[in-house]
Structure 1
């Protein structure tokens, strides 16, 4: 009997996930938002645990700050902007994290204007006043946007604004356009009792020559070197949740509220769907699947960032993105339910 019990216990131990799970410190890109749902659902449903991972998730300080948080050693992984990886890889290639799951296939960088201003094309920005927070990708890349669209940058007046003043000043007419992230400004306008679809025009950079990527899951180089299996498990769990949310939207927002019960359900459901419909889903994702990217497009994006940020060196694509941790293509197919 004793031998039978010992044998059974041994089999159970072999079949169960390892009790000594790998600890991963993960930073979000900002305060809890619906766009974080794939990470939060993977946590809530135990997908990380199934991969042998003990993931601790903290709120962030900005999608660019995710990079510096990981570089400091405080975090092992996070959700942040690939363009910030490009910037830092130009100066500190041995310390900069690597993108391993590219979630936002289209960039959120945009100039938003009131429809009554009559600004509908980049050419209409000539002679106008734009406001935005200094140092953000939209502000830093405006000169490239202007060059690519034959707009005289010297004809545009630029005002540096605190982020919380940008939309209010646009609404009052103190500026003609705001240099923002669409996924942020859209909901800031709603919170200011505006209709972002009916009353505003959006000059998205991705539609006007700046074919950039944006946020995804990045990990430290130390984690890649020391525990590649953990990186694979992290990516697999988040991809599993991202695919699931595309079909079960309620599950996604449930996970957001489970992580932060002060979040507004309706607002974060709308933000989550905005991210899927405007930033994640694309013809490219249909072709190559969630998490991956096009190497030629990434090389062009690196050149754009190098110009906009006046980088002294241009990193190679392999320093920025590593697809070797992605699940098979069949597991990364996005089917977005109505």
Structure 2
């Protein structure tokens, strides 16, 4: 016993002399070296955020050596400014907000590394019996929208692209939480919305968004912009590229899981936020798949990627609409070098 104790004590002394811990060899290095990533969402927890929590619950982040903290957000544009401030390393937000910041503060703007919404959520929402069947029917009408929202800011560009004079449409500034209410009450003829948000808002107000309303998509009328995805700070991309690749890999795996089983994904989300309505969030997810995520282009090039030519056109639209001082190059806005191989990003034929 004394010999054994002496051996251990002697070993401890030798290790101490080398600045090492006796217990160190017994702890896996991966557990000690996980890279912390502060991740911000674009809004409160919703079905469209399920993949981040699926990646967390299934250990995908951990397998990539990451320790990811996920916080609720305050808007798609706020994701960009949160990352620019240094408060967050990565997040889910709007590529169009990245374009704006890259044109004005190129050294600070984040870069998108995994694109998710292949079609933008911007839409003109009107009642099915309103008589408004196309953009031309908005002339002489009053429409509502938050003054700072992308859907409102881009309306003039949408109208001009379709040969219409923006001055012929009256735009009433309103709070986001009043958009559906004022439309239902007839206080405006149409509302300028984010479809994935308004869709569930209508359900929660006892409306049928599929049969009771008409959705006029900006993308289907010439304003074919990109939208939300995963972005990271320039510092994270530069200093820890393997961590960024791991983050993207984990999220991509989780998105495919959610597409395969939305109900299970929402159950995971409910564990994080028990107050959400699981049924409504499943419908939101399926709406997002159909309206924004699963498109001919995303089926061709895979999840996470985009077309540089289409992005260049989007940048030109944003530069004109927001009077930006320059047009950033597509490579400054989106970096596909962090993407997994296309074979790992393919959308299943049965998805959606």
TM-score of the superposed pair, with normalisation by structure 1: 0.94
Q: Please give the residue correspondences for 1:62-73 in structure 2 after superposition, counting only pairs within 5 Å.
A: 62-73=75-86
Corresponding residue for residue 251 of structure 1: 264
Question: After the TM superposition, which residues 1-338 of structure 1 pair with which residues of structure 2 at under 5 Å, given as runs?
Answer: 17-335=30-348, 336-337=350-351
Q: Deviations over 1:117-164 (max 9, x none)?
A: 111111111111010001111000001000011112111111000111
SS at match of 1:96: coil
Structure 2 partner of 1:6? none
SS in 2 for 1:116: coil
SS of residue matched to 1:117: coil
Unmatched runs of 5 consecutive residues or more in structure 2: 1-6, 8-22
> 1:12: how far off?
8.8
Residue 40 of structure 1 deviates from its aligned partner by: 1.4
Deviation at 1:221, TM superposition (A): 0.2
Structure 1 unaligned regions, length at least 5? 3-8
Shift of 1:203: 0.9
State how far apart, in whole Å, the 1-side matches of 2:125 and 2:26 are.
58
In structure 2, relative to structure 1, the CA distance for the partners of 1:204 and 1:12 (3 Å cut) is farther
Residues in 2 aligned to 1:62 and 1:178: alpha-carbon distance in whole angstroms: 18
Contact 1:41 1:251 in 2 (8 A): no
Residue 13 of structure 1, CA deviation? 6.8
- Superposed CA deviations along residues 210-242 of structure 1, whole A, max 9, x for unmatched, are 111111000000001110000000000000001
Larger CA deviation: 138-147 vs 246-255:
246-255
Q: Secondary structure at the match of 2:137?
A: helix
Q: After TM superposition, give the deviation of residue 250 of structure 1 in Å.
A: 2.4
CA drift at 1:315: 1.0
Q: Give the structure 2 partner of residue 5 of structure 1.
A: none
Distance in 1, matches of 2:290 and 2:49, equals 14
Deviation readout 1:167-205 (Å, 9 max, x if unpaired): 111001100000010001111111111111111111100
Aligned residue in 1 for 2:11: none
Query: Partners of 1:258 and 1:101 in 2: how far apart?
Result: 26
In structure 1, distance between residues paired with 2:236 and 2:351: 35
Separation (CA, whole Å) in 2 of partners of 1:10 and 1:57 = 30
User: 2-side partners of 1:291 and 1:255: how far apart?
Assistant: 22
Q: Report the RMSD for the aligned CA atoms in angstroms.
A: 1.7
2:203/2:280 contact within 8 Å kept: no
Q: Deviations over 1:259-316 (max 9, x none)?
A: 2121111111111111112111011111100000000000001111111111121111
The CA distance in 2 between the partners of 1:308 and 1:95, in whole Å, is 22
Q: Secondary structure at the match of 2:143?
A: strand
Q: If you compute each CA radius of gyration, which structure gives the higher value, 1 or 2?
A: 2
